[in-house]
Amino acid sequence: MVQILDGEALITIGEKQIKAVAGQVVVMPADVPHALLAVSRFKMILTVVKRTVSPSAI
């Protein structure tokens, strides 16, 4: 998940492109190729969420 704090970025997820601006949040699925390109200087927060592993699986 990417939250754009300032500026603009072009986010590609698979074949889809999204022009994200400050205040927007974009979810990027783990199994789909993705990329970010700065349209202008930008700041973002990247949050990675992983599935928990049960202790019996270790």
**pLDDT digits 0-9 by tens, 32-55:** 999 999 999 999 999 998 888 777
Q: Which long-range contacts (CB under 8 A, 24 or more apart) does 24-33 make?
A: 25/1, 26/1, 26/2, 27/1, 28/1, 28/2
Residue ranges making up the domain that contains 7: 2-57
Q: Is the pLDDT of residue 56 over 80?
A: no
CATH number at residue 14: 2.60.120.10
**Per-residue pLDDT, 44:** 97
Cα separation, 55 vs 7, in Å, equals 42
**pLDDT digits 0-9 by tens, 26-37:** 999 988 999 999
**Per-residue pLDDT, 58:** 64
The number of distinct structural domains making up the chain is 1
Question: What confidence category does residue 57 fall into, taking pLDDT thresholds of 50, 70 and 90?
Answer: low
Which residues make Cβ contacts (< 8 Å) with residue 17, sequence separation at least 6?
Answer: 10, 11
